[in-house]
Structure 1
Amino acid sequence: MKIIVDSGSTKADWIFFDQNNNVITSVTSLGLNPEVITLEEFFTRVNTVPDICKNKDEVKELYFYGSGCGSDRTKNIVKNFAEEYFTNCTNINVHEDTYAAIYATVGRGETGIVCINGTGSNVSYFDGQKVYQRIQSLGFMAMDDCSGSALGRLMIKSLFLNMMPKDLATSFKSKYDLDADVVKYNFYKKENPNAYMASFLPFLIEHKDKPFFKEMIREQVSFFAEHYIKNNPEYDKVPVHFVGSVAYFLQDEFREVMAEHNIQVGKIIQKPLDGLIEYHK
């Protein structure tokens, strides 16, 4: 049995293949980002999904694409988990989520810039063979601009600084528990504060045409174009693809801003799973 995992900070999608490379089933677990959860938490989260537990001894190959897997240190966390959990697995491969996005958007042998705009964000250039990351991401505390966590943080900040228009603030507080103690507990005590911040994204999308949010979105997308995408000298010569819920649900806003920056938009997809399935068949 072979498994492909596409994991962000919020959730992870698991695809199971039989020996003939046919998809058997797919399941979802909580996100498995080694930058923000411990090795012990990996086991806790995976053990809550019955289909993973009951099939773990049958797994011979594992391909894990995940946020936070950009260094040897974090890759080793995933590998250590996989070696201990899938005891009969002899082929373990761990890649940053960038590779999943590339395989899902850029054709074999083609070139392109691939952006991830989900809970976090990053950008890479693919020359048809190699991946180049001109920007070293520092994660949600310092970077991850134009992501769910960045937009969620701006929403919370604008609420507590009384910058958010009253009607939006009232609606926002009626939909979420935004007591200061609750917010601080989720920021500083619970796992995955970046996913918590990104959890406010549905409210933003629902009200994206409100002038206050419209400007917030525009500023974030424009900043991402100027300081992330344009750090790649190829930005005006190759298609720029986008993967993730932020880009997918705000694609009209993305297309408008990219046109102003002379950036050719390629594919915009929410999740790279379909492309990964085809790539691994």
Structure 2
Amino acid sequence: MILIADSGSTKTDWCLLHPEGKRSYFVTEGYNPHFSDEQQIIQSIKNNLSAEIDPLRIKEIYFYGAGCQDDKIGLMQGTLRSIFPNCRQVTAEVDLLAAARGLLGNKPGFAAILGTGTNTCIYDGNRIVNNIDSLGFILGDEGSGAAIGKKILSDYVRNKMPESVKQVFYHIYQLSPAEIINQIYGAPMANRFCASFTKFLKHQEVDPDYSHQLVRTSFTEFFSHLVSCYPAYNSYTFNCIGSVGYHFKAILEEVLNEFDMLPGRILPSLITELAGYHTGHENIYSSNT
């Protein structure tokens, strides 16, 4: 049996490939080795594995994850091997490669992630050939759920929200400015905490003009600081994976038009596409399972 995972900082989509071709899907929390240590990841995966999975029967794993770069690749591979000890192959790759493979297959193009965090690249149909660093939650990640959440929280704490919006925010979350500051600077997973507030902008009682302007500003920063910095960026279509890009697609397309870039595939998740990529491009059942 083979496992494929697409992990962001908030959630991980999994697909179990059975030898007879059946696919089973399930979801766990996200695993970013920059924010979670090995024991946290191990415990979480063990506690949240689908009941039909016997860890001893998993023979191959293809794990794509936020933060799976450089020395973190070895850390994630070792973590997975400790959970699935009979694996003959454990591959850990950055989630951006999953985005490119899932969105573009073996065709060259531009691929992006707009979820809790953000990332972008030029893909040649096989590998990433150009990537401008998003700089992560603290220094960058423009356009992401975490960046949008920071804007919401900043407006709330600094009393820059329209009064009607502020009242709705407090009614829903019952958070004081001090509690927000403590959560961001004193608790783990501040990026996930900030990103959780993006859904506030979809609340029916929130002024749509406020929501629209805040998201549009964040997406404009994403294009100004990242997308438009790629040579001939608008010669590509804009292909994107992630809940933020998908749920605010109409605003995203406004900004695409402003930057003279055509929309391509904009999807909320791509575990199905990744399963198709591996079963279609790799003979992964060529040996005994």
TM-score range, shorter chain: over 0.9
Q: Is 1:159 the counterpart of 2:190 in the alignment? A: no
Offset at residue 151 of structure 1 (A): 0.5
Offset of 1:27 from its aligned partner? 1.6
Partner of residue 74 from structure 2, selected from 76, 79, 90: 76
Cα distance between partner residues in 2 of 1:181 and 1:214 = 27
- Shift in CA distance, 53/68, structure 1 to aligned 2, threshold 3 Å: farther
Using the TM superposition, name which of 146-155 and 183-192 deviates more.
183-192
Aligned twin of 1:26: 25
- Number of the residue aligned with 2:123: 126
Tell me how far apart the structure 2 counterparts of residues 232 and 20 of structure 1 sit (CA, whole Å).
43
Opposite residue 277 of structure 2, the aligned amino acid is Y
Aligned counterpart, 2:251: 253
Determine if contact 1:117/1:246 at 8 Å carries over to the other structure: yes
- Find the aligned partners of 1:126 and 1:54 in 2 and give their Cα distance: 34
- How many angstroms does 1:54 deviate by? 4.9
Equivalent residue letter for 2:66: S
Aligned residues: percent identity? 28
- The 8 Å contact of residues 46 and 83 in structure 2, kept in 1 or not, is answered as no
TM-score in terms of structure 2 length: 0.91
In the TM superposition, 1:1-281 aligns within 5 A as: 1-23=1-23, 25-51=24-50, 54-69=53-68, 71-108=69-106, 110-206=107-203, 210-281=208-279
- Number of residue pairs matched by the alignment: 278
Distance 1:177 1:133, change over 3 A: farther
Separation of aligned partners in 1, 2:21 and 2:79: 24
3-state SS of the aligned residue for 2:110?
strand
CA contact (8 A) 2:134 2:226 kept: no
- In 2, Cα distance between equivalents of 1:159 and 1:49: 35
Which stretches in structure 2 are left out of the alignment for 5+ residues?
280-289
> Deviation of residue 181 (structure 1)?
4.2
Do 1:47 and 1:53's aligned partners in 2 also have CA atoms closer than 8 Å?
no
Q: Per-residue displacement from partner, 1:81-139 (whole Å, max 9, x unpaired)?
A: 0111110001001111111111221142x221111000000110012233123312321
Bigger shift: residues 209-218 or 160-169: 209-218
Q: What amino acid maps onto 2:86 in structure 1?
A: N
**Maintained 8 Å contact 2:234/2:261:** yes
- Relative distance call for 1:50 and 1:106 in structure 2 (3 A) is closer
In the alignment, is the contact (CA less than 8 A) between 2:143 and 2:218 conserved in 1?
yes
Amino acid at match of 1:176: Y
Distance 2:256 2:76 in 1: 35
Counterpart CA distance in 1 for 2:144 and 2:219 is: 9
> Hey, what's the Cα distance between the residues in 1 that align with 2:21 and 2:183?
41
Task: Indicate the larger mover: 134-143 or 180-189.
Answer: 180-189
The answer (yes or no) to whether the contact 1:205–1:250 under 8 Å persists in 2 is no
Deviation (angstroms), 1:227: 1.8
The residue type paired with residue 155 of structure 1 is: I
Aligned to 2:285: none
Cα deviation, 1:201-247, whole Å, max 9, x if unaligned, reads 11113367622222211111111112211121131212110110111
What is the CA–CA distance in structure 1 between the aligned matches of 2:80 and 2:131, rounded to whole Å? 30
